Structure 1
Amino acid sequence: MMRRKRRKKKRYGIWLICCLVVMVTGMICVPWIMNPENFRDEKNKINSFLYRTFEKDSYHAKSLLMVDRSNDSVFLSKREHEQQLPASLAKLFVIEYAYTLSDLDSLVKVNQEVLLL
């Protein structure tokens, strides 16, 4: 009878230690896993498998449209015809502020270093 009680106590102790190890590991690893940069290659592989297309370091926006305003050619587009919710007010205020500071028809030269960021 005493042996059974000791075995049960050992089992509970081992089970408790295992739970604590899992909890501590989770508390350490989950914040690291939540960063999108850490598993970018794996996410690209999963997306290429699911959607049958490979887009390395694809843009994570719901929709995207980049247009050359000089000849109206489309550089990059993603779900440009789907209706989306408007951007946050902070983003709209930044756009309005930028509009007051500069001419939107002006050309901006960009270095290659900036494009690689």
Structure 2
Amino acid sequence: MASASEHRTALIVGVGLIGGSVGLCLRGAGWNVLGRDRSASCLERALAVGAIDSIAPEGFVDDVDLTVVATPVGVVAKEVALALRETTGLVTDVGSVKTPLLPLMENPRFIG
């Protein structure tokens, strides 16, 4: 992972209202922010408002420092599990429902 003085990269999975807001904050703090979403229009809107720097390639980007999962509750656990398997950085989510995530919390890279 990058040190505080190095350029940091985040991947936002789900760039709707909440994911886009996280992206704006991270970009404001100097992070490079990639976005991934099932909706092409959400990705285009996130680019247009400056919530992300670019659209992530298909799948996960393995060398990001932080993955933020901001998807609907029904798919959060699946996306967090994928991020933990496919990336090497920290993983977090913005959801309020944590019960489906309990088994994943044993991974020290998951900040739930």
Instruction: Output the TM-score relative to the length of structure 2.
Output: 0.20
Whichever of the two has the greater Rg, that structure is 1
Give 1 or 2: higher strand fraction. Answer: 2
Identify the structure with bigger relative contact order (alpha carbons < 8 Å, sequence gap 6+). 2
Give 1 or 2: higher helix fraction. Answer: 1
